[in-house]
Amino acid sequence: MNSTSKIYSYGRQTIDQDDIDAVVEVLKGDWLTQGPYVKKFEDALAAKLGAEYVTAVSNGTAGLHLIGLALGWQKGDIVLTTPITFLASANCILYCSATPDFVDIDPVSYTIDINKLEQKLKDYKVAGKKVKAVVAVDYAGHPCDWKNLKRLAEEFSFQLVNDNCHALGAEIHGDITYAVKYADVVNLSFHPVKHITTGEGGAVLTNNCELDEKIKILRTHGIVKDNSKFIMQNSELIGPWYFEMQELGFNYRITDFQCALGISQLKKLDYFVSKRNEIANFYDETFNNDERFIIPNVQKNLKHGYHLYPLQIKFENLKISKKGYFEKMRENNIGLQVHYIPIHLQPYYKNNFGFKEKDYATAESFYEREVSIPIYPTLQNEDIKYIVDKIKELAF
């Protein structure tokens, strides 16, 4: 037992008095839901991430759903993603009745394998089929090979989505605005384990005006409110109450007080990301020259966001099983996690789409070894020392 009896998980939020004050201030005002802070938060995200258009939504999964709808995915469309991601990256394909398929991960970056993607695109082409879109995930906070993804998107003309939920604050060549530059549309989540939080929450970023307009309409029931658009035959306005529903939309709105929290959190993003990088550097140094472990690789031109620290443990060489290791760590107040069970192995995907074991070998062997160890800004030096001691001590 550690001296303070703290319980560690792989991730958690950082909330301070500024955040609390910001929320309380909005709660005392007139607007709880669609007030001025939604737009303010969207503008702050747009400025930070270099996006022309931002739509804040109720959660990241809702954002992905709206992206699929706005991109026009429908029955028969093939949309690709990787098996090593949160379910929502693939489920959004199903929400639109499109057909999901997977591309294995690269064994070094753990993101979509560019060569395997290219091969799959060629195979589909030879079969006379077109891939509608690719949902690429900056897994753990490591940006994908976006330059090559963009090249393939142009060559094979598919839509490119960045599920960027792990990588807020990551950079390519020092550029924090890379996501919206390469992808047609970018998705963020503000769940408490992510870099910044609004409780539940998410945002969709794009430089495409038309796409943004669709997403904003679909966020609120498909309602078009701009009264000046609706004119009677005698060219009079119908009336101030009038609106039209032109698409089937949803209520995927976020509240004003959540957005106040988001604005306050976003101011601390750089600090959060640098704390995560400090902790990761310490882990790297600790586990790098130890045969039992494989540390996550970071390409030189990148800044990793470290939503996760995916440590691979070679359980095949140890006496302790992965299950036993998790239990022992739990007894020592360290809650590990696994990111992720490969999606193609989920019963729903196996039963409905015929995926099976060995379909994506790299993803499956990564899953065997992967352990997400605690990484979040409020971990103190003594916490991290305690955690690494236990990780090493119990890996026998």
Ligand X SMILES: *Cc1c(COP(=O)(O)O)cnc(C)c1O
CA 152 to chain centre: 22
Q: Which of 197, 245, 284 has the alpha carbon at shortest distance from 13?
A: 197
Instruction: Tell me how far, at minimum, the Cβ of 321 lies from ligand X, in Å.
Output: 27
Instruction: Tell me how far, at minimum, the Cβ of 59 lies from ligand X, in Å.
Output: 4
Collapsing DSSP to helix, strand or coil, 291 comes out as: coil
Instruction: Tell me how far, at minimum, the Cβ of 142 lies from ligand X, in Å.
Output: 12
| Closer residue to ligand X, CB minimum distance, 266 or 395 | 266
Q: Which residues bind ligand X (CB under 6 A)?
A: 59-61, 85-86, 88-89, 137, 163, 165-166, 189, 191, 202
Instruction: Tell me how far, at minimum, the Cβ of 133 lies from ligand X, in Å.
Output: 15
With contact defined as beta carbons under 8 Å apart, do 290 and 257 qualify? no
Provide the phi-psi class of 48: left if phi over 0, else alpha when psi is between -120 and 50, else beta: alpha
Q: Which of 19, 26, 34 has the alpha carbon at shortest distance from 263?
A: 19
Interatomic CA distance for residues 154 and 157, integer angstroms: 5
311, β-bridge pairs: 371
| Closer residue to ligand X, CB minimum distance, 343 or 394 | 343
Locate all alpha helices (DSSP H) within the chain, ordered by sequence.
17-27, 36-49, 60-70, 88-95, 114-126, 146-155, 178-182, 209-219, 256-266, 269-287, 322-331, 347-353, 361-369, 381-394
| Closer residue to ligand X, CB minimum distance, 189 or 265 | 189
| Closer residue to ligand X, CB minimum distance, 189 or 286 | 189
Interatomic CA distance for residues 262 and 274, integer angstroms: 19
Instruction: Tell me how far, at minimum, the Cβ of 42 lies from ligand X, in Å.
Output: 16
Residue closest to ligand X (Cβ)? 60
Neighbours of 249 (CB within 10 A): 20
| Closer residue to ligand X, CB minimum distance, 172 or 254 | 254
Instruction: Tell me how far, at minimum, the Cβ of 332 lies from ligand X, in Å.
Output: 27
| Closer residue to ligand X, CB minimum distance, 60 or 296 | 60
